[in-house]
Amino acid sequence: MRYSDFTTYDLLLLAQGLGVTIGLFLVTSLIGLVIGVLWGVVRFYRIPLLTPLITFIAELLKNSPVLVQLFLVFFGFPAFFHLNVTPVQAAVVTLSANTAAFIYVIAVSAIESVGREQIDAARAFGLSRWQILRHVIAPQAAAFSIGPLTALLVNQLQVTSLISVIGVMDLAKIGATLNLRTLKPFIVWAVVGLLYYLTAKLIAAVGARYETRLRRFSEFRGL
């Protein structure tokens, strides 16, 4: 067998790489979603000290390159604090934090999109801040945020390809390995690009369907 030949085992490698990419994407998206929403709630309650600190962290993460953040988490912090960090751990921390920063912005925008008169009316009826957040703001904010959130998740899927530079065997890293072995970059990267494209389309389709259902539910409840 020549080094330029493709084998059926290459399909398994691509499937493995795609599985790693999707797995890390789902885990970091879920962690980022939880953290970002919690940050948004802190902003809603305007908790002293925490609110400006969270805003500063989010701005720092949003306005610096993800690759630099990744290198800092994988190379910088471990060297400075004498820690042992694996490539996967560095990838999870970096992608989760970066996702949380953008979800925080979406959460804040979604909360602020709810009319002030609705909040004032809820207060007039004696609802607590938690009840207002849960029953008045959350349903409408969720319907508003699905579109931007879907677009963000599609972008974050593409961002996961950066983790290949620190040795995580994701789809991009498998593609680079196959490219070096087969010396057929057009075929290899076309297939890798197609897999990213199909995964992104799946995310967009799920987001669009969920947005439609959520908006119908909100309209049914008169929100």
Is residue 155, in this structure, part of any structural domain at all? yes
State the pLDDT at residue 221. 52
For residue 131, the domain's CATH number is 1.10.3720.10
State the pLDDT at residue 115. 75
Is residue 33, in this structure, part of any structural domain at all? yes
Answer yes or no: are the C-beta atoms of 103 and 148 closer than 8 Å: no
pTM for the full predicted model: 0.88
Answer yes or no: are the C-beta atoms of 170 and 87 closer than 8 Å: no
State the pLDDT at residue 2. 52
Is residue 135, in this structure, part of any structural domain at all? yes
**Which parts of the chain sit beneath pLDDT 70?**
1-4, 215-223
Fill in the amino acid letter for 56: F
What is the tally of structural domains in the chain? 1
Domain that holds residue 169: 8-220
**Separation CA 31–CA 207 (nearest Å):** 18
CA-wise closest residue to 107 among 215, 201, 32, 207: 32
pLDDT in tens, 55-78: 999 999 999 999 999 999 999 999
State the pLDDT at residue 1. 45
What would you measure as the largest C-alpha separation in the chain, in angstroms?
78
Is residue 89, in this structure, part of any structural domain at all? yes
State the pLDDT at residue 220. 47
pLDDT in tens, 185-198: 999 999 999 999 99
CA-wise closest residue to 170 among 38, 19, 49, 58: 19
State the pLDDT at residue 123. 79
Is residue 119, in this structure, part of any structural domain at all? yes
Q: How many CA atoms lie within 13 A of 31 on its CB side?
A: 15
Is residue 72, in this structure, part of any structural domain at all? yes
